[in-house]
Amino acid sequence: MKGAISGIMLIALLIGMLVLVFNIQLVKASGTIYIRADGSIEPSTANITSVDNVTYTFTGNINDNIVVERDNIVVDGAGYSMEGTASGTAIDLSYRFNVTVKRVSISNFACGIALYYSSNNEIAENYMKDNLFAILLNYGSNNSISGNAFSGGSKCDVGLYDSLGNDISGNNMTFTGVYSIYLSNSSSNAISGNIMTYCRNGIYLENSSNNNVIFGNSIKYGSGIYLQESSNNTVSENTITAWSGSSSYDGVKFVESSNNTVSGNTITTKESDGVTLFQSSNNTVSGNTITTERVCISLGSSSGNTIVQNNIKKGDYGICSSFSYNNMIYHNNIMDITWSQAIDNGNNAWDNGYPSGGNYWSNYNGTDFYSGPYQNETGSDGIGDVPYVINADNVDHYPLMEPWLPPDVAVSNATPSKIIVGRGCSLNVTSILVNQGNKIENLNMIVHANETIIAFQNFLLRSDNSLVYTFTWNTSDFTYGNYTISIYVEPIPGETDTEDNIYITSVLVTIPGDVDGDFDVDIYDVVKIACIYGSVKGDPEFNPNCDLDNDGEITIYDIVMCANNYGETYP
């Protein structure tokens, strides 16, 4: 570890020296091309042209360096190339603002594009090959590096030092020598949608690189994501295949890092661990799918972490905890493990109490005849009747009988008994609530008519079950008009899919007897009721809007109610 850190620091020192040295060289080099602050190109014979001093377009290949001294411009390579001699910086954007560099092929430079104290620049659609450092940011902010292609064994494809708020997205990186994306003391950056193939180190953060978002990247055939002394980062929905031939690399590894989140990633490794936390605290590892031939999740000298809702599909060992304490480990599915599903020489919580439960262990052979906190009440509850014992200090008191599913409840339907109702009359609304998870859930249902609560009910709903609930709405206290009826089930702890927690329908409140909803009671309404006189609910001709007293049949009382309001209009 010390050797690796020393190597990283050496690279950081070299990069800093390169930027300084190459800037000096650029000033002295006779072959340097300048885009001056006044918009001129020097020398004028260079293979660059501009008609407006805004867009600078290559007219041929360039074998020299370019120094940009002007802001708010576009440098368009137009598909031409820059070929170096393994030294210098191809395009120097030091101290530049709002410059775009696009469509240029840069190869064989010490640094492809350098941004030193530069902000709001865009580096897009370029091809970088065989450069020592392809794109380098020092003290850069709010820059965009997107849609570029990198290949040829660079020491670093994209390197950020002391840089803030940059976006690195949609780049394609292959055969990286050391780092595809490297951050040192760089925070609040977004790294998303990049594809890294055959990379020694995919994404590497160290030296207080905090509050970064690493989302939706693909890292294949190389080391995955590594954090050293970095906090409050989010690593989510990445796909990591951390191995190549006979070599094997870590999937996600945190060293001396805290308050980070690792969620929704798909991680595959061979002779290395899937997720490793070493001397790291208060991190959350959740919702990941991990397949490996070693340890799926490893904790070493780490405390206060939360390990939940992971699918551990294959490995020699499921979850291993060494000299680690006060970690919460529950709702994980631990399956197809060769040697041991759990090892723990510390003291950690392996369940979340009752009725939330613990983990699913594929080798658990207990029964489920009873329920309750002490598993002594009649009736199954999806929790094993006897604990899953790891050792004397570590016990899952509530092992799950089936693989854990995310908590998910829904309102699948809601139907009012009528869509037109007279003010002061009542109607029924029938809703269907569904528990789509595999645990008993305590549900709160709230019904609104526009902003007014018209019903509230609490339910205890077993797993994979539905419930039909009908309530009556008396419209006496409501004015005439259209009402949005929303049936809403409050999200339960841990639920992420909440789009189906609400069902919306509508009802018109009008004058009693106005069965066609035009806000007057006239002969047309009387005729509508009279034509189905005697019909009952279920008859093909029955119209619930004509059932003014809501008793399920069309009687003389409905006609009388309509007649009593004959001639009334609104407004």
Chain segment 140-186, per-residue pLDDT in tens: 999 999 999 999 878 999 999 999 999 999 999 999 889 999 999 99
- pLDDT tier at 9 (50, 70, 90 boundaries)? very low
Burial 306-333 (b: 16+ CB within 10 A, else e): bbbbbbbbbbebbbbbeebeebbbbbbb
Amino acid in position 332: N
Q: Is 266 left (phi over 0), alpha (psi -120 to 50) or beta?
A: beta
pLDDT at 8 over 80: no
Give the count of beta carbons closer than 10 Å to the beta carbon of residue 37: 10
pLDDT at 17 over 50: no
Would you give the DSSP letter of residue 553? B
Assess contact for 262 and 281: CB atoms under 8 A: no
274-293 mean pLDDT: 96
- pLDDT tier at 538 (50, 70, 90 boundaries)? very high
Quote the Cα angle for 326-332-337, to 5°.
105
Give 187-218 pLDDT, tens digit per residue: 999 999 999 999 889 999 999 999 999 999 99
Burial 12-34 (b: 16+ CB within 10 A, else e): beebeebbeebeebbeeeeebbb
Give the count of beta carbons closer than 10 Å to the beta carbon of residue 245: 8
Both structure tokens of 566: 């004959």
Q: Round the average pLDDT of the chain to a whole number and report it.
A: 92
pTM: 0.80
Assess contact for 63 and 47: CB atoms under 8 A: no
Give 330-376 pLDDT, tens digit per residue: 999 999 899 999 999 999 999 999 988 999 999 999 999 999 999 99
pLDDT at 426 over 70: yes
